[in-house]
Structure 1
Amino acid sequence: MGFLDDLKRQADAIKSGQTTDLAAAERNALLTEAACKTVFTYFDTLIRQLEVLKPVSKTRYALERRTVFEHLPMVDLKIDARRRKLRGNDVYEYIALHGRLRDGRKLAFTKDFLPDIEKIDAKLRQAGAPVHAQAVRNPDNNKLQEMRYEMAVDFAFGVTVTPEHDSASLHFKAMNLDGFETVTLDFSALEVGSTRLDELAKWLLGESHQFFAGARNLRRVEA
């Protein structure tokens, strides 16, 4: 076998491997798209029922030890989905279900201890509440004396599903379902069906659930 023939053999082996890899990626993409369609259909059906049922969340939300919110109405439920191109095909980029926890109340409070201010600011950012914060400073030295807050009880919550088509997996990012925190986790596309999504719906409504069972890369980040 000549040198050129040897190079051709090596090139053919690489091409064969690339063809195999592409075929596997395409199969994974099809599985992922099927799971995404299941998620979108489930979310769409879910919010149509909740619009009629007008649920109240069973989750307890605490800005601080003395400022706690319970039985918050779940309103403004919406689905947002975007598509993109992958190897010439239209696929889901993400699917999101989001809403607000709102009861119409207005609150006003003051914090004068810097660590408390930092904690409250982080919680308010996580909550996504409409808030007006005013810094009160010492006129002599401009040091911060206190922060005055005015806010509405109007918090954001939701779930965003981002597919990873080549690896046939779905990444879930849940915001403010267990209080003011973000939870992220991954599932194989084959594991995301109506049974799994039923558990997600229970979690969304603040009920006991088994959504985390078998999840990969589970992570919680509290405000």
Structure 2
Amino acid sequence: MSFLNQLKTQAKALQTQRTEEDSVFEERVNATEKACRTILPYFQDLARQLSVIEPPSPAFSLDGKTPWPAMKLVDFRVDARRKRVKDQEVIDYVGMGWRVVPQHGKPGQDTVSVNFPIEMQRVESRLMMGPVKHERHEVRHPEKSVLLEVRYTYFTETRGSVTATADHETGQVHFRLLNTDGFEVLNAPWPAARINQEMLDELAKRIVGQPSRFT
């Protein structure tokens, strides 16, 4: 075989490989976009219903010892953003957020005190995660100036959210759940092809505190 024919064979093989790769990529993009277009109207409808229902929230506590009052989920809002993938406009992410407020009355003030570094780290991470409006006060020994404890005065109000971020190149949707089971962040990647009404129903159950298979 001449050198030119060798180059032709090599070029043909590469062309076939690239065509196959483009086809796989296109399938992933389409599957991911379909999933996002399933999520968006579901979130929009869910937000409307839950804004009326105002379901009770899970239990919240900054230090694991001092419980917040009975809380509820209110003011559900949905947002979506778009991006371009290879000159094609697609959904970048879909998000739904809500406020967590007392079931009765307005948010009030409370205080927790900690004196161990690991407890301090846990409380401060939850305050930032909320975010929770608060003030930090260090209590020191009057003579030795040694730190005795840290007091956090905070308002009993926080936020929760679910964000579904599309990864069109891998054909996945990455879910990030904030404060759906107390102060926590849960990250859960899902294959786009598996996202359907049943799966989103399980997610909705988790948001309102019912037994759920969503992980």
Q: Shared fold (TM-score greater than 0.5)?
A: yes
CA root-mean-square deviation: 1.8
Shift of 1:3: 0.6
Pairing 1:156-171 to 2, within 5 Å after superposition: 156-171=159-174
* More strand as a share of residues: 1
One-letter amino acid of the counterpart of residue 10, structure 2: Q
Aligned to 1:147: 150
Q: Which amino acid aligns with 2:33?
A: E
Aligned to 1:62: 61
Change over 3 Å in CA distance of 1:148–1:71 after alignment to 2: closer
1:6 is matched by which residue type in structure 2? Q
Structure 2 contact 66–112 (Cα < 8 Å) conserved: no
Query: Which digits, 9 at most, give the CA deviation of each residue in 1:66-125, with x for residues without a partner?
Result: 212363111232112211110001111111111121121211233334333222212222
Question: What residue number does 2:122 align with?
Answer: 119
Structure 1 gaps, min length 5: 213-223
CA distance in 1, matches of 2:143, 2:169: 61
Tell me the matched-pair count. Answer: 211
- Measured in 2, the distance between the counterparts of 1:166 and 1:14 equals 20
Q: Deviations over 1:134-188 (max 9, x none)?
A: 2244566654333221111112211111112122221111111122211112222
SS at match of 1:67: coil
- Percent of residue pairs bearing the same amino acid type: 30
Query: Counterparts in 2 of 1:15-30, with a 5 A limit?
Result: 15-30=15-30
Is residue 195 of structure 1 aligned with residue 198 of structure 2?
yes
TM-score normalised per structure 2: 0.90
SS at match of 1:73: strand
Higher mean C-alpha displacement, 32-41 vs 111-120: 111-120
CA distance in 2, matches of 1:210, 1:110: 36
Aligned to 2:51: 51
Change (3 A) 1:198 1:148: same
CA distance in 2, matches of 1:109, 1:183: 25
SS in 1 for 2:174: strand
The amino acid across from 1:121 in the alignment is: E
How far, CA to CA, are the matches of 2:198 and 2:116 in structure 1? Answer: 47
Instruction: Give the 5 Å matches for 1:82-97.
Output: 82-97=81-96
Confirm whether residue 128 of structure 1 aligns to residue 131 of structure 2: yes
Read off the aligned partner of 1:49 and give its amino acid letter: Q
Write the mapping of 1:62-81 to structure 2, written as runs, cut at 5 A: 62-69=61-68, 71-81=70-80
Q: Hey, what's the Cα distance between the residues in 1 that align with 2:39 and 2:27?
A: 19
Question: Which region of structure 1 is more displaced relative to structure 2, 44-53 or 129-138?
Answer: 129-138
Aligned-partner Cα distance in 2 for 1:201–1:63 = 25
Q: Normalising by structure 1, what TM-score? A: 0.87
**SS of alignment partner, residue 210 of structure 2:** coil
